[in-house]
Amino acid sequence: MKGSMLNGIIRMKCPRCQESNLFSDPNPYNLSKLFQMPERCDKCGQKFEIEPGFFYGSMYVSYGLSIAYLVAVWVAFIILYPEFNVTEYLVTAVGSLIALTPLFFRLSRSVWIHLFVKYDDNAIEKWQKKKTEEKTNPDSE
């Protein structure tokens, strides 16, 4: 459902147009390209790093996602395996959390930018118009 913030976050698309990927390689487990993001959206021109250090705030989102995940695993252990010991929980929870870290890293960046940049139905057309105007009138800057 295009235009939905949740859809854009989960699919890790540009928040303005929801067309381009936020990350150069959509696979979060390609660790050599885990951090690589294009400077701008190639469809609507939205700058991804809005200001220097913009994504530092996504650390708070990542922390929240990690805590929510650990609580969910704790509840699952209580419901599905009532006689568990803490060591089994810690090994399972921490091991799976380490495996999910690349996904949580990218998801937290996606959440963070979607909080600050809103969807615009006409973003692509506006960007195309601006590029056309710059080509025809290069001295207007």
Q: Which H/E stretch holds residue 7?
A: helix 5-11
- 3-state DSSP assignment of residue 13: strand
Domain span holding position 113: 5-136
- Distance separating alpha carbons of residues 63 and 72, to the nearest angstrom: 14
| Mean pLDDT calculated for residue range 41-51 | 96
CB 104 within 8 A of CB 62: yes
Considering the domain boundaries, does residue 118 fall inside one? yes
Tokens of 11: 């699919």
Query: pTM above 0.75?
Result: yes
Considering the domain boundaries, does residue 109 fall inside one? yes
Share of the chain above pLDDT 90, in %: 88
| Mean pLDDT calculated for residue range 16-23 | 96
Q: Given this model, what pLDDT does residue 112 score? A: 98
The total number of structural domains that make up the chain: 1
Q: Given this model, what pLDDT does residue 136 score? A: 82
CB 108 within 8 A of CB 10: no
* Mean pLDDT value across the chain: 94
Q: Which residue has the tokens 């506006």?
A: 126
Whether 44 shows a pLDDT value over 80: the answer reads: yes
In this predicted model, what pLDDT tens digit does every residue of 88-114 receive, in sequence order? 999 999 999 999 999 999 999 999 999
Considering the domain boundaries, does residue 141 fall inside one? no
Considering the domain boundaries, does residue 124 fall inside one? yes
The confidence band for 140, taking pLDDT boundaries of 50, 70 and 90, is low
Q: Given this model, what pLDDT does residue 141 score? A: 52
Q: Given this model, what pLDDT does residue 139 score? A: 65
φ/ψ of 136, rounded to 5, equals -85, -25
- Distance separating alpha carbons of residues 136 and 55, to the nearest angstrom: 35
Whether 129 shows a pLDDT value over 60: the answer reads: yes
Q: Given this model, what pLDDT does residue 46 score? A: 97
State the Cα angle at 102 between 100 and 107, rounded to 5°: 90
